[in-house]
Amino acid sequence: MDNTELRRILLANPYSKHPALLAAMAQDADLQLFARELQQQQQELEDALQVPVPPMLAERLLQIPQQKQPRRNWFIPLALAASIALVSVLGVQLYQGSLPADLGSHALAHVYHEHDYLQQHAQMQPLDEVNLKLAGFDASLQDWQDEIIYARYCTFQGVRSLHLAVKTTSGYATVFIVPKDAELDFVQDFADGRYRGLTLAMAKANVIVVSDNAADLQQLPQKLTQKLIFSA
């Protein structure tokens, strides 16, 4: 069962106890976060629907035909709750659709989202452990000399990917390994006011390099092209 199917299960039931889902969540922090966000949205929806029944509601309903101008103050909280419910449901349904539609924008969103967490948890990652993660993408780093300080799974449009941070003279550069079945438009060169990125179309994945230092984007893509090897 792939990541997209697991997320569909969560969208249908954020509290699902499906065995495959529970096993995947135990290994995937991003999937855990997605489940918590959906659970929080559902709880907010349930709280919004907990509107107390107005006192004497039955009597008021019985009296409506006899009143020329029935009072409807009691209807306001019910209408508000219904509006909140509709917005919450639409928010869940549109969650995936609201993500960036191209590789570059999606990569930049990940860089900003993970920035603080990366700063707190950056530490040297043994190459053999990094290659264990890369094996899931039929890839490995061979004769790699640069220090990798972060290696964590992430998702690009529901497709499991790998987020690496490589130490450089200016700090670090971010590398994403994104399988080609991710439904995101390919962009070779992209930038915003702070970062610039390049996308390498390699054998079985798109490899994205993002940095705020131009030198990193001159050196690191060349190293990856030579030393990131995909199996046949």
CATH number at residue 119: 3.40.1000
Total domains, the chain: 2
Let me know whether 8 and 104 are in one domain: no
Let me know whether 76 and 45 are in one domain: yes
On the question of pLDDT at 44 being above 70, the answer is: no
The fraction of the chain above a pLDDT of 70, given in percent, is 74
Let me know whether 93 and 104 are in one domain: no
pLDDT digits (tens, 9 = 90+) for 177-186: 999 988 889 9
End-to-end CA distance of the chain: 24
Let me know whether 85 and 152 are in one domain: no
Mean pLDDT value across residues 195-217: 95
More confident position, 65 or 134: 134
**What does the mean pLDDT of the chain come to?**
81
Let me know whether 199 and 210 are in one domain: yes
On the question of pLDDT at 112 being above 80, the answer is: yes
Let me know whether 129 and 223 are in one domain: yes
Sequence length of the chain is 232
Q: For the purposes of burial, counting CB atoms within 10 Å of the CB of 78, is it exposed (0-12), middle (13-18) or buried (19 or more)?
A: middle
Let me know whether 108 and 148 are in one domain: yes
Let me know whether 30 and 104 are in one domain: no
Q: H helices of the chain, where?
A: 3-12, 19-27, 29-49, 57-63, 75-93, 103-121, 127-135, 214-227
Model confidence band, residue 87 (pLDDT cutoffs 50, 70, 90): low
Q: Which domain holds residue 120?
A: 100-230
C-alpha to C-alpha distance for 184 and 181, rounded to whole angstroms: 9
Q: Is 95 helix (H, G, I), strand (E, B) or coil?
A: coil
Across 69-73, 135-139, 153-157, 159-163, least confident range: 69-73
C-alpha to C-alpha distance for 180 and 178, rounded to whole angstroms: 6
On the question of pLDDT at 17 being above 50, the answer is: yes
